[in-house]
Amino acid sequence: MAEKRVSVRLSATGGRQVRAELEGVGEAGSRGFGRLSREMELANARMAEQIDARLRAAIPEIARIAKESVADGRRRGQVI
């Protein structure tokens, strides 16, 4: 598939004002991404806590199933 490329050259009057506004946009974007990054880290930590809690809650049931499986295998004469 062919790739199309376009080049654009902009010219602005009042260059200092345009530059200041673009810098403001860049700073706002940086703050937004910083805030998003912090929120994602908090969300990941909360999710990890929930997963950990659910796994810990499942351990007794997993142990019970494993014991039953071993006992069942012994009853059938399987070497475990």
Mean pLDDT value across the chain: 88
Rounded CA-CA distance 53/8 in Å is 54
Asked, for residue 41, whether it belongs to a domain, the answer is yes
Asked, for residue 26, whether it belongs to a domain, the answer is yes
pLDDT tens by residue, 18-46: 889 889 999 999 999 999 999 999 999 99
Structure tokens at 1: 């598939």
Asked, for residue 28, whether it belongs to a domain, the answer is yes
- pLDDT of amino acid 70: 85
Asked, for residue 31, whether it belongs to a domain, the answer is yes
pTM, full prediction = 0.52
Asked, for residue 9, whether it belongs to a domain, the answer is no
Task: Indicate the SS3 state at residue 50.
Answer: helix
